[in-house]
A and B are shown apart, each in its own frame.
Chain A
Amino acid sequence: MKQEFTLSIYSENHVGLLNQITTIFTRRHINIESLTTSESAIPGIHKFTIVAFTSRDAMNKLIGQIEKRIDVIKAFVFTADEIIHQEVALYKVKTESLLNSNEIERLVRQYGARILEVTSEYTVIEKTGHKEETQELFDKLDNFGVQQFVRSGRIAVTKLNKELLSNYLRKLESEKSLLD
């Protein structure tokens, strides 16, 4: 049975790492629904957050292949109930549409969105939330004509108290001290 998974992958910050990770998805023909990448809380360590739909079995195999890459430090996989996640969306509408009725302002309030910038030509609205929420706002706003719309990939934190990677790195350090 296919379900949604969110992967948190930590790696060295080397050239070509994204390619190393995505080819593993490609090879198993698993589509990447969303992907966000940036430096993690630990300097020098990069974090990828990837969303994919697949079976648990296929996901386990995928994670095994990803962790096998030398430059990947650790990969964690979560289902939706194990994480708090968010995406950000930007909507560009004509300022004229905003002024012509109260409806856009009402939608901004109702959806907890905010207006980032207003010029005489256009207005940029920002909303953070889950994909369904940002999509719903898009559908509503589009009645007034959305000139541009963009949504980011997912970012997520776990519901666990502990920080998985720092624990893992600490464990690596302790193993090292045993060897020394």
Chain B
Amino acid sequence: METKTQPLTEEASPMKKQRMSGSEAVMQSLLHEGANLVFGYPGGAIMPIYDALYQYQDKINHVLVRHEQGAVHAAQGFARVTGKVGLCMVTSGPGATNAVTGIADAMVDSTPMVVISGQVASPLLGTDAFQETDVVGITQPITKWNYQVKRAEEIPEAIAKAFYIARTGRPGPVLIDITKDAQFGMFDYEYKKVDKVRSYKPSSPVKKDKVAEAAQLINLSKKPLALVGQGVVLGGAEEELKVFLEKAGIPAAWTLLGLSAFPSDHELNVGMLGMHGNYGPNVKTNDSDLIIAIGMRFDDRVTGNVQKYAKNAKVVHLEIDPAEINKIIYADVPVVGDVKEALPMLTEMVAETDHKEWLQEFRACDKIEDQKIINEELHPTKAGMTMGEVVRRVTEVYNDDAIMVTDVGQHQMMASRYFKFKNTRSVVTSGGLGTMGFGLPAALGAQLGQPERPVCCFVGDGGFQMTIQELGTIFQTKAPVKIILLNNNFLGMVRQWQEMFFDRRYASTELVNPDFQMIAKGYGIAGELVDSRDNLDDAVKRMADHDGPFLLEVTVEKEGNVFPMVPTGASVAEVRLE
């Protein structure tokens, strides 16, 4: 493999080889990669690395989570708000298997992350040794790359390669499994930064002729619609996107993970796509004559029934991952490559125009959605509080500029629909995997990644209890995460489906919940329970003013539903308003 030497620190210059243990080499290698925050949990097979960490405490901040799943989600939250590679460390066996859910989540949501797992000593491999699992085999389909290190000498290159692969191209999680003997082994340490792997092509240069074809379609289009995904955020192409959209006057809709790449109040922003997205972008998808997909992958939650999707439109697909082209929706013009490179090329070739009448069609849809759904959600006439009104109070108190973290379920959709954004990298949510329990640890990671920004973590009473132990980590780190628990004493999204599609047979969706305020108190976290609308405003203000973590628990209507909704198997044009 070709590598370039790029010494970052004087004491570890490759000119001067230093004799050290594999464990210390892990620390040195992490510092070379600029990693100074790690979420983890110690255990037998990773103890040498933790022992080395003891001496590097002033350089590498280790956050002790309460469960390995929390470590991975926290690293994801950190990565999503900073754009850096998230880092976590777990021990072998159950430590590694507990990390699996988070790794799968990071894989499907393209989150750059490195997981270092301890492994039993290499002579014990394959013997069913204590706390041995085939973690490389288990995580193979859910990592971008993984590798087992069995000799100390391999550590610097394995870690360099891990960071390089995790952050380049379409990002993703990488797992490095290090046997205990490799952690103990002594060798002459030398760090070589990796900037090339023979068998790996992070992205292709954008082809000019494809851009020209795309520009031609755009210039001919009367009803273009841009679908914006996380690729824009991952590529850091927010500004390039804005310039492109404004010049070509194209209405833009957002996938769940593309939220916040573009200000909520921008006149070309027509809202969220998909199952619980806005009415306009769903219903207008089938009126559009040109879909311009930018860094998104046509998830089934976005497309609904693909046989009835965008039937009147040609499709231009800007995407870094060639495997996404034609995977779900056929692209008439694929533009493979980094959107940060492709968008300016496209901007140059498109005519300056606006599509005022077309944009007006979206605004007309907004009016319908306002009347049928949004007005009642934000200003309910019924006594019970809605999730939407709580979300809106919270976003307002932060002047629409907080980081929104969510768990998974009804509250996630409500937060995504009603929270507002001014700046990019302000959304942390589990999209592709839909991992309940993601929210709380991800919020901790996001807060540690962006200590100056407020972090609002919306959770439901179901998902909250899946990783509620991370309140302990929040308590220990004093991370001032604001937790907004939207409590309906139900697994709300499943209940909604039971109501709509299973004849109201509420099988195992009603929860008998503990006293969450008492739990928060036990963890030394301030909190408040709001069960009447009259107290909501003041409570939200008290939460925002509180210096430190806070649990705002709001009792919301027990059987509230999220609308609009594109039922499974239906076309996006058949989006239901009630």
Q: Which residues of A contact B (CB under 8 A)?
A: 11-12, 15-16, 19-20, 23, 27, 60-61, 64-65, 67-68, 70-73, 172, 176
Contacts and interface: CB of A to CB of B under 8 A. Distances in A.
Which has the most chain B C-beta neighbours within 10 Å: A16, A64, A70, A176? A70
Interface string B162-189: 0001000000000000000000000000
Given A12-B199, A64-B322, A70-B165, A20 B140 contact: yes
Nearest to A71: B199
A27 B199 CA distance: 23
Nearest to A11: B199
B140 A19 contact: yes
Interface in B319-335: 321-323, 325-327
Interface residue SS majority, chain B = mixed
Contacts of B323: 61, 64-65, 67-68
Given A12-B198, A19-B140, 11 more contacts: A11-B199, A16-B137, A20-B140, A64-B323, A64-B327, A67-B322, A67-B323, A68-B321, A68-B323, A71-B199, A73-B199
Contacts of B321: 68
A177 B200 CA distance: 17
A15 B149 CA distance: 12
B523 interface: no
B140 A23 contact: yes
12 contacts: A12-B198, A61-B326, A64-B325, A67-B323, A68-B321, A68-B322, A70-B165, A70-B199, A71-B199, A172-B198, A176-B2, A176-B196
B157 to A, nearest CB: 13
A16 B196 contact: no
Contacts of B322: 64, 67-68
Nearest to B322: A64
Contacts of A12: 198-199
Nearest to A64: B323
A119 to B, nearest CB: 38
A60 B145 CA distance: 22
Contacts of B380: none
Nearest to B196: A176
A60 B322 CA distance: 11
Nearest to B328: A61
B145 A71 contact: yes
A16 B325 CA distance: 27
A27 B144 CA distance: 16
Nearest to A10: B199
A176 B2 CA distance: 10
B141 A70 contact: no
A20 B136 CA distance: 11
A27 B325 CA distance: 19
B197 interface: yes
Interface in B289-306: none
A172 B322 CA distance: 17
A130 to B, nearest CB: 32
Interface in B195-229: 196-200
Which has the most chain A C-beta neighbours within 10 Å: B141, B197, B327? B141
Instruction: State the 7 A-B residue pairs at the shortest beta-carbon distance, nearest first.
Output: A64-B323, A70-B145, A73-B199, A70-B200, A68-B323, A12-B199, A23-B141
A73 B200 CA distance: 7
A173 B252 CA distance: 40
A67 B200 CA distance: 9
A43 to B, nearest CB: 13
Contact of A70 (B148, B197, B325): B197
B137 to A, nearest CB: 7
Contacts of A60: 326
B195 to A, nearest CB: 9
A23 B144 CA distance: 14
Contacts of A68: 321-323
A73 B197 CA distance: 10
Nearest to A74: B199
Contacts of A61: 323, 326-327
B166 to A, nearest CB: 11
Given A64-B323, A65-B323, A70 B144 contact: yes
Contacts of A71: 145, 199
Contacts of A172: 198
Contacts of A16: 136-137, 140
Contacts of B165: 70
A64 B170 CA distance: 14
Contacts of A64: 322-323, 325, 327
A19 B2 contact: no
Contacts of B327: 61, 64
A61 B197 CA distance: 23
A176 B140 CA distance: 29
B144 to A, nearest CB: 7
Which has the most chain B C-beta neighbours within 10 Å: A23, A68, A71? A68
Nearest to A12: B199
Nearest to B324: A64
A71 B1 CA distance: 12
A73 B141 CA distance: 18
A171 B346 CA distance: 27
A163 B107 CA distance: 34
Contacts of A176: 2, 196
Nearest to A57: B326
Nearest to A62: B323
A11 B165 CA distance: 17
Contacts of B2: 176
Given A64-B327, A70-B165, A27 B141 contact: yes
A12 B218 CA distance: 42
A17 to B, nearest CB: 10
Contacts of B200: 70
A172 B136 CA distance: 29
Contacts of B326: 60-61
Contacts of B198: 12, 73, 172
